[in-house]
Amino acid sequence: MKYAFAKRVRHLQSSAVRDILKVVNQGNIISFAGGLPDDGLFPAKAIEDAFSRAFSKGNKALQYGETEGYRPLREVILERMAEKDITGFTADHVLMTTGSQQAIDLFSRVLISPGDVILTEEPTYLAALQVFQSYEATIIPVKCDEDGMIMSDLLSKIKLYKPKIMYVVPTFSNPAGRVWTLERRKELIKLIHKHHVLVFEDDPYGDIQFTNEGYTPIAALDDGSHVLYTSTFSKTAVPALRTGWIVGPYQVIRMMAQAKQANDLHSNSLAHQALYELCRHFDLDGHIQSIRELYAHRKDVMVESLSAAKKSGIITFEEPKGGMFLWLEASANVNTQALLPRAIQKGMAYVPGAPFYAGEPKQNTLRLNFTHATDEEIVKGMQALLTMFQEVEEETSLIK
Amino acid sequence: MKYAFAKRVRHLQSSAVRDILKVVNQGNIISFAGGLPDDGLFPAKAIEDAFSRAFSKGNKALQYGETEGYRPLREVILERMAEKDITGFTADHVLMTTGSQQAIDLFSRVLISPGDVILTEEPTYLAALQVFQSYEATIIPVKCDEDGMIMSDLLSKIKLYKPKIMYVVPTFSNPAGRVWTLERRKELIKLIHKHHVLVFEDDPYGDIQFTNEGYTPIAALDDGSHVLYTSTFSKTAVPALRTGWIVGPYQVIRMMAQAKQANDLHSNSLAHQALYELCRHFDLDGHIQSIRELYAHRKDVMVESLSAAKKSGIITFEEPKGGMFLWLEASANVNTQALLPRAIQKGMAYVPGAPFYAGEPKQNTLRLNFTHATDEEIVKGMQALLTMFQEVEEETSLIK
C-alpha cells in the first residue's frame, strides 16, 4: 500500500547524516556526534532512593497526573529559577515537558501557522530547526558574533519581517558554544518589548559552566511577559527520565498545556515525583559542580589535542566556556558532510555543521561533543580527525 | 502583550465542561467523569521491584534511549501482540509512546494535512477528536449500531469522501462501551483493502473484558499493511508511567518515529526498562484477571443501581461487556451539558455526551466511569443522578 503522508512530513525525512550516525552507535567508532552526558556521573544511588521515597507515598503516586506536571516539582523548579533571578512566577506558570524538546515542539504548535516567520541564531540547534520546519515556519537566521546576536541585524530583520517569535540559546549555544554578553541580552529585551516579539530562551546547558562568571538568563531581565525560559534535568541529573520544563507568561503556558493534553495528556508523573524527592534530599548543586569539573577537564583535553593544528591554521575554534560542544571550522576547501564516512573509517564520528544552518551553511564546520568520550578516546579521536584534515590538505595540493 | 497564537489553537481552547470538571477534582464530589483506574489495584510492590531490577543494570539504564523505545520491551510487546493473533511484525514495527494519546497525535501529525478527511465512529473518543481537529482534519462520522460501524454507511462515505484514514475503537469503545462483531471486523478489512484506507485501531480497553468471549483485533485480520494497532500499560499496569505503544506497517511507524524525534526525542526509557522487568517477572495476565473481576463487579453495582430507572423508561443503556464506561441516554428533553452544574450540586459528576460527537450531538447522553468510585459511592452517585432526572421530568410536566 502507498501511504499518503501529510505535507508537513517532508521536513521529517531522516537525514543522510542521521542514517550514517545510526550505524556509528552500533560499531566501535569513537563518537563525538551525540549530546550524551557521561554515564559515570549519573547519581544512580540518589535516584534510586528518590524513587523509593516516591513509592513510599502509596498507590496514589501511580495514578494519572496533572497535564501541567507534579505540582510540588513545579514549586521546586520555581525556587531554582529564583536562584537565576527568574522571578514573579507561580507554579501555574510552569509546564513540565518530556525533555525540553517537547517544550520547543509545543511552543511551535501553538504559535506557528504555516508561513510565520521565526528568527533564530545562525548556526543554531538542529532539532529546533526541524521542529520549526515541520510546522512550516519561515526561518530567518540572524547574524551572530562571539558576543551573541548582532543587534543591528536583528533590528533590520524585525523591521523587515515583523516576526512574532524568536528562538535563542544564549548561554553555551548549541552548536557554537557561545555566550551572549549581558549588554546584548539587555538590548534584546529592549528590542522585543518595543516590537512585541515573544522569545523562546532555550537553556539546557546554563548550569554546565567552566568559569565562575555567572550568566544572567534573558528571562531574568524580562518582566514576565515576553520571554519563555526552558531547561531540563537531562544534563544535570539523568536523561532517561526525560524531564524538562518551561516557565513564562501564563497565557502561553496555558495554551501549551492544552496542546500537551492533545499531544500526550501528561508526562511520566512518577519521574516527576522522584525528581522532586531528588531535589529535596540530594545535593543537586554539589553534583552539578562535579559535572562542571569533569566536563571542563574533558574540554581541556580536547582543546589541547587540537591546539597545534589551531596554531598551524588548519582549523579554528573558540574555546567553550561551558556546555557540551566544541564548534570547529576547518579549511575552506573541506566539506565535513562529504568527509564523514572517511572520518568513520578512521574510527571517529562528528556532526557536520551544515544542518545547524537555516540559511547558507558553512560546509567546513563540524560539532564535537566532549562529555561522553574518555580522555584517551578524545586524544585518539582528535588525532584521527586531524590526520584526515592533513590528508585532505595534501590531496588538494596534489590536485593543484 | 497580546500573544498571536497559531490558527490551529482554536481547537485547543479549554471546554466549559473541562473547566467545570477541574473544579470537581478539587472538591468532595463523587466523580464518574474521568477514566481513572482504581488506585487500589496498582501492583505497587511489583513495580518497585521492577525499578530495582532496572537500576541494578547500572548507569547505562539512565542514559538517553532510542526514539523507538527500549528494544527488549518492544520484543515483549510483540509476544503479547502474538497472543492476540497480531503477528508478522518485528521490534522495528513497534513504537513506544507517551501513553496511547501520543500515538494518536503522531499518527495524525504524519497523515493529516488541513482539510483531509478522517472517518470515525459516532460517538467516539473525545480526545482523539480534539487531536484530529487540531490538525485541521475534516472529521466524518460513520453511523454505528450495537454491532459496530454500519458497513453500508461506511461504504457510501468511503465512496463520497475518498478518505485515506479512519479511527476506530472496536472493542469496548469509548464512550459507548460497544464491541464490534467479528463479521463487521472482517467486512471492514475487505473494504479498507479494496479502497486503500489506513485504519488506526485504538484498543486501550481490550484486556478489560467481563466475559470469556475473546475479541479478535482488527489488526489480527489484516496482513500488516492497512491497520495500525495501539494500546497502553495505563489500564493494565499503572497510568503514572505513561507508556503506550503502536504496531503496524514499517513505513508509517518509521515516519511516526521521525515525528516523535521532533516532538520529544523519546519517552521515559527508565519506565520502559521497568515495564520490561515487570512483564518478565510479574504475572501481568493474572493481575489483569483481578482487574477484570473488580471492574465487572463495579459495573454490576452501577447497572443494578440504574436498573429500575431503565425498566421505567427514564433512561436507556447497553450493559458494558468490558472497558471502563457506561454510556447512558436520558429522556429526549434532558440536556446533560446544561444539567452538569446541578449534578455537581447533588454531589456527583459525569461527562456530557455531546463532546464525543463529531456530527450532531445527542444532548441527552452522558458517560459514566465505573472503575474509580467505590461500591457505596456508585450507589450514592447513581441515586443522585436519577433523583436529578426525576426532578427534571417533574419540572417538565409542570411546564406542560
Let me know whether B356 and B377 are in one domain: yes
**pLDDT number for residue A19:** 72
Let me know whether A57 and A184 are in one domain: yes
Let me know whether A83 and A159 are in one domain: yes
**pLDDT number for residue A400:** 62
pTM greater than the 0.95 cutoff: yes
State the best of A92, A109, A165, A223 to mutate against chain B, taking most chain B CBs within 10 Å.
Answer: A109
pLDDT above 90 covers a percentage of chain B that reads: 90
A-contacting residues in B 143-182 (Cβ below 8 Å) = 164
Could you tell me if B267 and B242 are in contact, meaning their C-beta atoms sit under 8 angstroms apart?
Answer: yes
Contacts of B59 in chain A (CB under 8 A): 39-40, 42, 44
Residue type, B123: P
Nearest to B174 by CA among B113, B256, B114, B230: B230
Q: Read off the CATH number of the domain in which B117 is found.
A: 3.40.640.10
CB distance from B261 to chain A under 8 Å? Answer: yes
Domain range for B132? 44-283
**pLDDT number for residue A192:** 98
C-alpha cell at A396: 588538494
Question: How close B142 comes to chain A (CA, Å)?
Answer: 22
Query: Is residue B372 in some structural domain?
Result: yes
Let me know whether A17 and A92 are in one domain: no
Could you tell me if A302 and A382 are in contact, meaning their C-beta atoms sit under 8 angstroms apart?
Answer: yes
Let me know whether B12 and B77 are in one domain: no
In angstroms, how far is CA A203 from the centroid of its own chain?
A: 7
**pLDDT number for residue A20:** 73
Q: Which residues pair with A209 in a beta bridge?
A: A322
All residues at 6 or more sequence positions from A264 whose CB lies less than 8 Å from its CB, including other chains = A98, B97, B98, B99, B101, B102, B105, B242, B264
Question: How close A223 comes to chain B (CA, Å)?
Answer: 11
Let me know whether A379 and A269 are in one domain: no
Could you tell me if A280 and A289 are in contact, meaning their C-beta atoms sit under 8 angstroms apart?
Answer: no
* CB-based burial, B194-209: b 16+ in 10 Å, e otherwise: eebbbbbbbbbbbbbb
Let me know whether B109 and B243 are in one domain: yes
DSSP string, A348-374: EE-EESGGG-SSS--TTEEEEE-SSS-
Say which residue the cell 561551558 belongs to.
A322
Domain boundary among B254, B283, B312: B283
The dihedral region occupied by A136, where left means phi > 0, alpha psi between -120 and 50, and beta the remainder, is left
Query: Is residue B2 in some structural domain?
Result: no
**pLDDT number for residue A24:** 74
- H or E element at residue A302: helix A284-311
Q: Which of A102, A110, A225 sits opposite B9 (nearest CB)?
A: A110
Query: Is residue B379 in some structural domain?
Result: yes
Summary mean pLDDT of chain B: 95
Interval B62-69 mean pLDDT: 94
B-contacting residues in A 34-53 (Cβ below 8 Å) = 34, 36-37, 39-40, 42, 44, 47-48, 51-52
Let me know whether A35 and A51 are in one domain: no
Say which residue the cell 462520522 belongs to.
B141
Could you tell me if A386 and A348 are in contact, meaning their C-beta atoms sit under 8 angstroms apart?
Answer: no
Say if the Cβ atoms of A9 and B36 lie within 8 Å: no
Contacts of B204 in chain A (CB under 8 A): none
Question: Which residue on chain B is closest to A137 by alpha carbon?
Answer: B6
Question: How close A338 comes to chain B (CA, Å)?
Answer: 23
Question: B99-111 and B250-263 helices cross at what angle (nearest 10)?
Answer: 110
pLDDT band at B107 (very low <50, low <70, confident <90, very high): very high
Could you tell me if B369 and B302 are in contact, meaning their C-beta atoms sit under 8 angstroms apart?
Answer: no
C-alpha cell at A210: 567552566
d(CA A331, CA B106): 42
Domain boundary among A256, A283, A310: A283
Contacts of A127 in chain B (CB under 8 A): 261-262, 265
Residue type, B348: M
Whole-number Cα distances in Å, A72 to A92, A195, B377: 11, 36, 29
Let me know whether B216 and B201 are in one domain: yes
All residues at 6 or more sequence positions from B237 whose CB lies less than 8 Å from its CB, including other chains = B42, B43, B47, B275, B278, B284, B287
Query: Is residue A1 in some structural domain?
Result: no
Sign of the dihedral defined by the CA atoms of residues A163, A167, A172, A175, in that order: negative
Question: Which residue on chain B is closest to A238 by alpha carbon?
Answer: B62
pLDDT band at B22 (very low <50, low <70, confident <90, very high): confident
A-contacting residues in B 183-222 (Cβ below 8 Å) = 196, 198
Could you tell me if A244 and A225 are in contact, meaning their C-beta atoms sit under 8 angstroms apart?
Answer: no
Could you tell me if A67 and A260 are in contact, meaning their C-beta atoms sit under 8 angstroms apart?
Answer: yes
Question: Residue A37 has what DSSP assignment?
Answer: P
pLDDT band at B246 (very low <50, low <70, confident <90, very high): very high
All residues at 6 or more sequence positions from B10 whose CB lies less than 8 Å from its CB, including other chains = none
Say if the Cβ atoms of B60 and A39 lie within 8 Å: yes
CB distance from B241 to chain A under 8 Å? Answer: yes
**pLDDT number for residue A23:** 72
d(CA A382, CA A255): 46
**pLDDT number for residue B241:** 97
B-contacting residues in A 109-128 (Cβ below 8 Å) = 109-113, 116, 127
Query: Is residue A204 in some structural domain?
Result: yes
Residues in chain A: 400
Of residues A73 and B212, more confidence is placed in A73
**pLDDT number for residue A4:** 92
- Which stretches does DSSP call E strand in chain B? 30-31, 94-98, 117-121, 138-142, 144-145, 148-149, 165-168, 198-202, 227-232, 243-247, 315-317, 325-330, 348-349, 351-352, 365-369
d(CA B366, CA B390): 16
pLDDT band at B14 (very low <50, low <70, confident <90, very high): low
- Give backbone dihedrals phi and psi of B127, rounded to 5 degrees, phi first: -70, -25
| Number of domains into which chain A is organized | 2
Query: Is residue B224 in some structural domain?
Result: yes
Q: With a cut of 50, which residues of chain A have pLDDT below it? A: none
Let me know whether A228 and A187 are in one domain: yes
d(CA A176, CA A378): 19
Let me know whether B232 and B324 are in one domain: no
Q: Which residues pair with B232 in a beta bridge?
A: B244
Let me know whether B185 and B321 are in one domain: no
pLDDT band at B97 (very low <50, low <70, confident <90, very high): very high
Domain boundary among B232, B266, B283: B283
Q: Give yes or no for residue B281 having a pLDDT over 90.
A: yes
Q: Between chain A and chain B, how many beta carbons pairs sit less than 8 Å apart?
A: 241
Say if the Cβ atoms of A127 and B259 lie within 8 Å: no
Q: Read off the CATH number of the domain in which B290 is found.
A: 3.90.1150.10
All residues at 6 or more sequence positions from B115 whose CB lies less than 8 Å from its CB, including other chains = B136, B137, B138
**pLDDT number for residue B12:** 78
Question: Residue A15 has what DSSP assignment?
Answer: P
Say if the Cβ atoms of B242 and A266 lie within 8 Å: yes
d(CA A161, CA A399): 45
- Measured from the Cβ of residue A100, the count of other Cβ atoms closer than 10 Å reads 26
Could you tell me if A217 and A228 are in contact, meaning their C-beta atoms sit under 8 angstroms apart?
Answer: no
- Measured from the Cβ of residue B60, the count of other Cβ atoms closer than 10 Å reads 11
Question: What interface predicted TM-score (ipTM) does this complex get?
Answer: 0.96
**pLDDT number for residue A21:** 75
